[in-house]
Amino acid sequence: MKIRFAVTFVLLTTFPNITIALEPITIQSGKTIGFYWTDTQGKIFVKSTAGKTLGFYDPVSNLTKRINGQVVSQGNTIMLLLYLPNQ
């Protein structure tokens, strides 16, 4: 009898005085295409597999923004940030 199980690895990133857990974003094939985390204010950030922070969703304003502050859309569309050209 074979037992199959799935393991989720959580990558820990350390910022000055803060350690956060990056949750992987995977597609159906199992390939990791990015990571996300939530800060203490509830903002959800998305990071590429190359380690670049792409942007965030702010639930207070209900806007998704690039890391430079440019509004991408209304609502939580952080996955879209993984597919937009870099600016």
* 4 has pLDDT over 80: no
pLDDT digits (tens, 9 = 90+) for 49-81: 998 999 999 999 999 999 999 999 999 999 999
Tokens for 34, please give them: 């990015």
Of residues 45, 24, 23, 44, the one with CA closest to residue 33: 24
Of residues 34, 28, 39, the one with CA closest to residue 11: 34
pLDDT above 70 coverage of the chain, percent:
75
Contact 64, 71 (CB under 8 A): yes
More confident residue, 13 or 46: 46
